[in-house]
């Protein structure tokens, strides 16, 4: 097998961060580039080649419909004493602030030939491929899993056996955004047997 530049790969993995919609410019990502990002997802590991990942892309006016749905669904589900106007507005505005929003979905193998968690893991790896591909191209991304969309099959028109695992917001980060993340050492998380 060919050896790749491991230092560049390590740097890409270690510097990837969640970049939130309020940190995006108004610049749009081209549909061709979104297609390239999705192509990276296709190469994620998948047990028995079930390729369970499914993606629904929101762009243009569809982002506003998504935002209105998320906000109204939050309002409908939240008891009045727990309702927060700022959360309502954030739900409504985040899709519009983004260049694109991807609904991350999983299609369960109809034969249930492998455990469901393996298909969820495959989808998560596909999303990580997209996320790393975004980061390598200077695109910010953020995976959110609000119950308002995860628990809803009608809005996304999900098929039998399909479920939503969240939303991936994407956009071009504003200049000067600094994101710091702390990670604990692996020492306490590893046991050699």
Q: What is the mean pLDDT of each run of 10 residues along the chain (193 residues)?
A: 89 94 97 97 95 97 98 96 97 98 96 94 98 97 93 91 97 91 89 93
**Tally of domains in the chain:** 1
Residue 45 lies in a domain: yes
- Tell me how far apart the alpha carbons of residues 69 and 67 are, in angstroms, rounded to a whole number: 5
DSSP class of residue 22?
G
pLDDT of residue 153: 84
pLDDT of residue 14: 92
Residue 78 lies in a domain: no
pLDDT of residue 180: 82
Which CATH number covers residue 108?
3.40.109.10
pLDDT of residue 182: 84
Which residues, in sequence order, are CB contacts of 95 under 8 Å at separation 6+? 21, 58, 63, 64, 66, 67, 70, 101, 167, 169
Residue 25 lies in a domain: yes
Residue 7 lies in a domain: no
- The tokens for 25 are 């410019």
pLDDT of residue 152: 85
pTM to 2 decimal places: 0.94
Residue 116 lies in a domain: yes
Residue 191 lies in a domain: no
CB 144, CB 19: distance < 8 Å:
no
- Tell me how far apart the alpha carbons of residues 70 and 167 are, in angstroms, rounded to a whole number: 11
**Domain limits for position 103:** 18-59+94-174
Residue 140 lies in a domain: yes
Residue 67 lies in a domain: no
- Tell me how far apart the alpha carbons of residues 120 and 102 are, in angstroms, rounded to a whole number: 16
């Amino acid at each position: 097998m060919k050896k790749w530049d491991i230092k560049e790969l390590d740097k890409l993995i270690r510097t990837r961060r969640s970049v939130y919609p309020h940190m995006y410019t108004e610049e749009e990502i081209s549909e061709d580039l979104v297609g390239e990002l999705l192509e990276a997802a296709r190469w994620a590991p998948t047990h028995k080649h079930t390729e369970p990942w499914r993606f629904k892309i929101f762009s243009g006016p569809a982002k506003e419909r998504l935002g209105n749905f998320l906000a109204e669904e939050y309002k409908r589900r939240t008891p009045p004493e727990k309702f927060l106007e700022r959360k309502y507005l954030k739900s409504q505005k985040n899709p519009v602030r983004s260049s694109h929003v991807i609904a991350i979905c999983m299609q369960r193998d109809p034969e249930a030939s492998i455990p469901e968690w393996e298909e969820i893991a495959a989808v998560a790896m596909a999303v990580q491929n997209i996320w790393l591909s975004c980061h390598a191209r200077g695109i910010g991304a953020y995976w959110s899993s609000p119950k308002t969309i995860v628990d809803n099959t009608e809005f996304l028109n999900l098929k039998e056996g399909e479920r939503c695992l969240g939303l991936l917001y994407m956009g071009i980060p504003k200049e000067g955004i600094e994101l710091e993340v702390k990670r604990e050492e692996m020492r306490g998380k590893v046991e050699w047997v």
